[in-house]
Structures are given as structure tokens and as C-alpha cells.
A and B are shown apart, each in its own frame.
Chain A
Amino acid sequence: MPTLNDYLVLSAILFAIGTAGVFVRRNLITILLSIEIMLNAVNLSFVAFGRSFGTADGQIIVFFVMTVAAAEAAVGLAIVISLFRHRESLNPDTFTSLKW
């Protein structure tokens, strides 16, 4: 049987992949997808901990995380559409107006 440690290691690997995606990719949509990978890695460790403690709290928190992820995706994609209209590009290095 896989143990709690196995799930936590898998979750850490997935989170690292998501972080690497945010750093490496130069495409706003792929960056948002990487954030989704990170959220899912955290969800996995929440459920694993909830299973380990024998409570329902882990699964409840996963529902809240999913809700926040849905809201984040909706607003983030709306911002991406709006940015693309202005600059005709999805490269985050194009949007440096606020950079001092």
C-alpha cells in the first residue's frame, strides 16, 4: 500500500513541475495552466492528509480550492483576452508598462 509519504513526494514533484512551468514558459496561457498544476498538487496533498487523519476536512478544503481555481481561471483568462486585444501578443515580457 502506498503511504502518506509517497503521496507527498508525488505532490511535491507535481508542484515543482508547475513552478518550473511558470518560470520557463513565455506564454500567458501556459503559465495559467502551470498554476493549475500547482493547485492540483496541493489538492492531492490535502486529500492525502485528510485520509491520513481520517477526517473530512481535507476533502472539504479541496472543494474550496476548486472554487477559487475556477474564479481565478475566469478572471485570469478575461485579463489575457483583454491584454491580447491591446498588444496582439501573449508573451509576458511584452507587458512592461507598469515596470519601473
Chain B
Amino acid sequence: MTLFYLFGAVAVIASLLVIAQRNPIYSVLLLIASFGALSGLYVLLDAPFVAVTQIIVYAGAIMVLFLFVVMLLNAPHEETEHDEKIHPLRRPGAMRFGAVLAAALVVELLWALTRSSGEPGAFGATAVSSVRELGRVLFTEYAFPFEVTSVLILVAMVGAVVLAKRDPRAHT
């Protein structure tokens, strides 16, 4: 229980700091800390393989991609005073109404979750934590989605190359 609160607190505080930072580099680094806490939670949930994948794929690959882009663009201070002035939350009318609605949704969500049914929802004794069992399910029951995923990655790869390529006509 103590570990759950520890990891949960680290995840929540790091995520809050992510959206409180002005410099995107600090945001990326704090998000890596949040992902580390989440992988600790996965270990508590008897899912060690997901925890390792979280560290390797998320913190190791995706966040490094973000860091590369942040340093490549070299645009440290986006939020100038002009940006602050035209911030949607300060605009009157529809934008502010939408922000209030979003806050109300969050409150409702927490209210519904904390007042849900009387049973405590304790976890059962059975847990699937072996990589062998995960692999068996992944390559039998979920074989088709797995193959479709490979097409998705191919499309994303080609799309990223095409989008980020410099337009040859721009130089003329």
C-alpha cells in the first residue's frame, strides 16, 4: 500500500510539473520520471513485462524521439507575453465555457469513481505475469491485430519521412 501511494504520488506530481513547465526539455525529462513511477505500479500489478516494456519503449525510445525534436527545433521560450495574452482561458465566451465544462467533467469523473459500488474491488489470486503466457496469447488469439500493427508502423515510418522531408521546391 505504501509503495502504491509512493509511486502514485510521484506519477501525479511529475505529470503536474510536466504541464506546468515552460521549457519543453524539462517537460520531457519530468515525463520520463512519471513513466518510471508508472512502471513501478505495473510491477505492483504483477505485470513485470509491461513494466520493462514501459521503460524500454516509452522512456527509452519515444521520449528520446521527443528530446531529439525539442533540441532540433531549438525553440526554448514559446510562451511569450503575447501568447499569454491570447491564451484561450483568458478569452471570454465560448473558450472559457469549454474550460469550465472540462473542469466539471473531471470533478464528475472523480465523484463517480469514489462513490462506485460498495465492493472494495480487491484483486483475485490469479495473475498472468509470465512472458510465456503473454506470448502464447499474443501470437494465437491476437495474431491478426499483431500483423496489422506491423502495417501501421510501416505507414507511420513512411509518413514521418515524407512529412519531415524538406520540400525541394522551397529552395528555388
Contact = CB atoms under 8 A, between A and B. Distances in A.
A47 B134 contact: no
A40 B62 CA distance: 13
Contacts of A91: 78, 83
Contacts of B12: 10, 13-14, 17
B122 interface: yes
A81 B73 contact: yes
A21 B19 contact: yes
Contacts of A93: 83, 86
A29 B24 contact: yes
A23 B99 contact: yes
Contact of B61 (A19, A55, A70): A70
Given A36-B62, A70-B62, A23 B88 contact: yes
Given A52-B123, A70-B153, A72-B156, 20 more contacts: A9-B114, A10-B12, A16-B109, A17-B15, A17-B16, A27-B79, A30-B24, A33-B28, A40-B35, A43-B50, A51-B127, A54-B128, A58-B47, A59-B128, A70-B62, A71-B155, A78-B160, A81-B73, A89-B78, A91-B78
